[in-house]
Amino acid sequence: MADIEKTVIVGSGPAGWTAAIYAARANLNPLVLAGDGVNRDRMPGGQLMFTTEVENYPGFAEGIDGQKMMDVLQKQARRFGARVQNTYVTRVDFKTRPLSLWHVNDLSGDGEALVRTHSVIVSTGARANYLGLASEKHFENNGVSACAVCDGALPRFRNVPVVVVGGGDSAVEEATYLTKFASLVYLVHRRDTLRASKIMTDRALANQKISPVWNTVVEEVLGTDADGVTGVRTKNLKTGRTGVLPCRGMFAAIGHTPNTAFLKGQVALDGKNYVALQDPFRSTTSVPGVFAGGDCADPVYRQAVTAAGMGCKAALDAERWLAEQGVH
Ligand code: NAP
């Protein structure tokens, strides 16, 4: 049987890497199970891998590219001895000690490998939501996307109208980004006020290429398999009137779901499946020795810098807890 780890960090966004830096510097010899990159939701580095410029992370006066930032954080964690495996955790047993995590066997590619550990830091982030329409699913990767930064520069979206759905920071950020490529960006929102921050709202609404469509929902994505998306059928919630917005792309920017399915029945989650922290000032979860930080445990702030701060707290809590258990 393999050794028992002191601490295993699951996920590798700002929370995971910050936890790894702190845990490594505390001589916990952390193992980071970073994600296997099989799809967007399992990407080492997490959501920032799909962001271009991060302008609000303190310390980068000129901003920093999201991928570069994750690369720098990973290098910083490795410099202090963090070990990293690009693999994906499928299930856990936190009901017996040591704690067990099974991940995709990255040597064979099939089957599972088991890691046993005294403590765990969960920092698995969150993923983008879709509207849930059958037509939206049908046109995924054929004009429908949930990531302007990943897909916006594709030839299919150049010099044509596109739609962004949502009214939060993601929606205005994606709409603004898409104006670099599209001829016009319809910002379709179900209410008549955006919930995005004022500075980003002002910037978006001042942009001549962004056309807000208020009180409106998308009911169907229209198109053909050969041409991809050609429009969206909309409904105005105030008047009940339906219509068609001609466009060649639809970007869903309607929030996120925490990546916590593998914890169900093992760690207490809240009503929206975020990890339920037991103390608002700490990273403790319902399981002693299991700590959480970042977007998987934060339905409110969800910023890179708050995630990093939560990762720091999780590592410090893990360090203290291990010391209390006599694990050195
Ligand atoms: P969000 O703030 O939760 O906004 C989601 C938006 O989608 C809301 O406007 C919501 O409408 C709408 N929506 C939700 N479900 C919908 C549905 N089924 N159909 C139509 N519309 C729907 O999510 P977010 O924009 O992804 O932002 C998440 C967090 O990340 C926020 O704290 C945000 O500040 C932060 N963020 C920051 C930046 C940045 O600073 N650069 C960038 C991106 C995100 P209602 O308004 O009617 O609820």
Verify whether ligand 1 is closer than 6 Å to residue 190 (CB atom): yes
Backbone region of residue 97 per phi and psi (left: phi > 0; alpha: psi in -120 to 50; beta: other values): beta
Amino acid sitting at position 98 = P
Backbone region of residue 217 per phi and psi (left: phi > 0; alpha: psi in -120 to 50; beta: other values): beta
Q: Could you tell me how far CA 36 lies from the centroid of its own chain? A: 15
**Residue 183 half-sphere exposure toward CB, CA atoms < 13 A:** 7
Q: Are 269 and 278 in contact (CB under 8 A)?
A: no
Task: Give me the CATH topology for the region 130-252.
Answer: FAD/NAD(P)-binding domain (3.50.50)
Q: Are 131 and 221 in contact (CB under 8 A)?
A: no
Whole-structure pTM value: 0.79
Protein residue with least CA distance to atom 29, ligand 1: 302
If you ran DSSP here, which 8-state letter would residue 318 be given? H
> Mean of the per-residue pLDDT values for the chain?
95
Q: What is the pLDDT of residue 144?
A: 94
Biggest alpha carbon–alpha carbon distance for the chain: 67
Query: Torsion angle of alpha carbons 266, 306, 150, 191, nearest 10°?
Result: 90
Q: Are 249 and 139 in contact (CB under 8 A)?
A: no
Q: What is the pLDDT of residue 299?
A: 86
Query: Where along the chain do the CATH 3.50.50.60 domains lie?
Result: 5-127+256-324, 130-252
Cβ-based neighbours of 72, under 8 Å, separated by 6 or more: 64
- What value does the mean pLDDT take over residues 219-243? 98
Per residue in 120-169, pLDDT (tens digit) is 999 999 988 999 999 999 998 899 998 887 789 889 999 999 999 999 98
Q: Cα(254) to centroid of ligand 1, in Å?
A: 5
CA distance 247 to 230: 5
Verify whether ligand 1 is closer than 6 Å to residue 133 (CB atom): no
Per the annotation, the verdict on 147 as an active-site residue is yes
As a whole-number percent, the residues of the chain with pLDDT over 90 amount to 86
Tell which one of 129, 190, 251 to mutate to probe ligand 1, the residue whose CB is within 8 A of the most ligand atoms.
190
Catalytic residue among 65, 106, 150, 225: 150
109 has pLDDT over 70: no
Kindly tell me the sign of the dihedral angle through the C-alpha atoms of 17, 171, 220, 154. negative
1 has pLDDT over 60: no
- What value does the mean pLDDT take over residues 109-118? 90
Backbone region of residue 312 per phi and psi (left: phi > 0; alpha: psi in -120 to 50; beta: other values): alpha
Verify whether ligand 1 is closer than 6 Å to residue 195 (CB atom): yes
- What value does the mean pLDDT take over residues 217-234? 98
Q: What is the pLDDT of residue 233?
A: 98
Q: Which residue, chain included where needed, has tokens 């469509």?
A: 213
Q: What is the pLDDT of residue 40?
A: 80
98 has pLDDT over 70: yes
Catalytic residue among 151, 169, 298, 317: 151
106 has pLDDT over 80: no
9 has pLDDT over 90: yes
Measured CA distances, 312 to 111, 239, 282, 292 (Å): 33, 49, 10, 10
Q: What is the pLDDT of residue 256?
A: 87
Per the annotation, the verdict on 41 as an active-site residue is no
Q: Which CATH architecture has domain 5-127+256-324?
A: 3-Layer(bba) Sandwich (3.50)
Element (H, E) at 75: helix 66-79
Q: Could you tell me how far CA 197 lies from the centroid of its own chain? A: 19
Q: What is the pLDDT of residue 307?
A: 97
Per the annotation, the verdict on 150 as an active-site residue is yes
Q: Are 4 and 116 in contact (CB under 8 A)?
A: yes
Bridge pairing between strands 250-252 and 126-128: unpaired
Q: Are 153 and 145 in contact (CB under 8 A)?
A: no
- What value does the mean pLDDT take over residues 248-253? 97
Per residue in 278-328, pLDDT (tens digit) is 999 999 999 999 999 999 999 888 889 999 999 999 999 999 999 999 998
- Least confident among 22-26, 271-275, 302-306: 302-306
- Least confident among 38-52, 156-170, 212-226, 290-304: 38-52
